[in-house]
Amino acid sequence: MDIDAIRERLCDALEGCEVQVSGEGNHLGVVAVGELFAGLRPVQRQQRVYAVLKDLIAAGEVHAVQIKAYTPEEWQAR
């Protein structure tokens, strides 16, 4: 699956989030920004993103994912 298809999948599943996906082969970097992460601990945020990709990981299409998930306020404060 290509980067654009993965980005589209994440955008569809993480309603209201802006998503950036980078990487090569089966190693990805994901940055997601959205209100849906408000009140969640970092590991819970990663789990939300990971859940969208779990079938690709199980199939071996994706091997490693680095996830950074922020609320809009956190993103602006960076």
The rounded mean pLDDT for the chain is: 96
Q: How confident is the model at residue 7 (pLDDT cuts 50, 70, 90)?
A: very high
The per-residue pLDDT for range 31-45, each reduced to its tens digit, is 999 999 999 999 999
CA 23 and chain centroid, separation? 12
Q: Pick from 35, 33, 27: which is nearest to 64 by CA? A: 27
pLDDT tens, residue by residue, 11-68: 999 999 999 999 988 899 999 999 999 999 999 999 999 999 999 999 999 999 999 9
> Residue 23: exposed, middle, or buried by beta-carbon count in 10 A (0-12, 13-18, 19+)?
middle
pLDDT given at position 63: 93
All structural domains of the chain, each given as residue ranges with its CATH number in brackets, are 3-77 (3.30.300.90)
Strands (E) in 1-78, as ranges, are: 18-24, 27-33, 64-70
